[in-house]
Amino acid sequence: MQFVDEVTVTVRAGDGGNGCASFRREKYVPRGGPNGGDGGKGGDIIFSAEPRLSTLLDLRYRQTYRGHRGQHGQGSDRHGRNAPDVLVRVPCGSVIRDADTGEPIADLTEPGQAVIIARGGRGGHGNAWFKSATHRAPREAEPGQPGEERRLRIELKLLADVGLVGLPNAGKSTLLSRISAARPKIADYPFTTKVPVLGVVKAGDYQSFVVADLPGLIERASQGRGLGIRFLKHAERTRVLLHLVDCTSPDPARDVARINAELSAFHPALLERVQLVVLTKTDLLPRLSALDPKRRALKRRGHRVLAISAVTGQGLPELVDTTADLLFRSAELAASQQNSSPAREARPA
């Protein structure tokens, strides 16, 4: 299935039904009063988060959504029926923005979360609504109000706890295939991962977390080189970033600095995520002691470092446990910061 994470659509809510201008015409009832009914309300356009969806592919092939019009009012005080709403299902993690202004409208992160994007027009009043003691034979009736129309830009940001970042061929896909049931494409050439891949990792008996394998970054990716930084938006929701670096690289610390520079160019807030440097492919080294100077260089720059081999499995249990512990600590820190924030003073009525 094709992975689509950005689309632009147009939504138009339904117009309200017109009010009716009519008078009672019945035998033996002289001068029957006005009895025109009101028009029905137009249908809303509602976006809802659907957990079974993982791409915006359906919205790419249908780029216009129109609501139904409310039924017109009729004589004999018969009001028009309200039109049904139109429900548009999108994946969890979808961010909806106004395409013209860029203003965020909704961020649908919870399954079943719904928001009215465009409201249907109000139905017009019939002439019965205008009658009064001094205005006994109104002949006016209102037309239905038009529904709202908007152009929307929808971006999908995958919901993952951990993001795997690094240069191409750093071993991200191989690692994900070893610690989860995900089966990303693995090959010995760069950019085998062209779209993000999610995997669920089990840590212990009761804890699990979601890992996102992101396409490899290269220097000046923020300027469009390689696959660019288009997919880095999927790292915005993560709490921990694992920097995967090939341990045979002559300068792993420089590789991490290059990746962090591209993260900062995309969104400086990504540098505030908890980071763990993972030296991969240790099975290619003749002896593990060759890693010592590279570890020291990384630690001097303040990085936490682990070494693994996804092929032999060396260091994978420690990596999973450390990542789970970092996630637990980050959740505790976020909860403590939320609880310690000063409460707003109540304003006098």
Listed by start position, the domains of the chain span: 6-156, 162-339
Q: Report pLDDT for 179.
A: 87
Q: Is the dihedral of CA 266, 271, 272, 277 positive or negative?
A: positive
Q: Are 6-156 and 162-339 equal in CATH topology?
A: no
Q: Is 266:222 a contact under the CB 8 Å cutoff?
A: yes
Confidence of residue 223 (pLDDT cuts 50, 70, 90): low
Most confident of 19-28, 34-43, 244-253, 336-345: 34-43
Please write the tens of the pLDDT for every residue from 2-24.
Answer: 567 789 999 999 999 999 999 98
Fold of the CATH domain 6-156: Spo0b-associated Gtp-binding Protein; Chain: A, (2.70.210)
Say what percent of the chain tops pLDDT 70: 86
Mean pLDDT of the chain: 84
In a 3-state reduction of DSSP, which class is residue 240?
Answer: strand
Domain range 162-339, CATH architecture: 3-Layer(aba) Sandwich (3.40)
Distance CA 336, CA 258 (A): 33
Rg (CA), the chain: 29
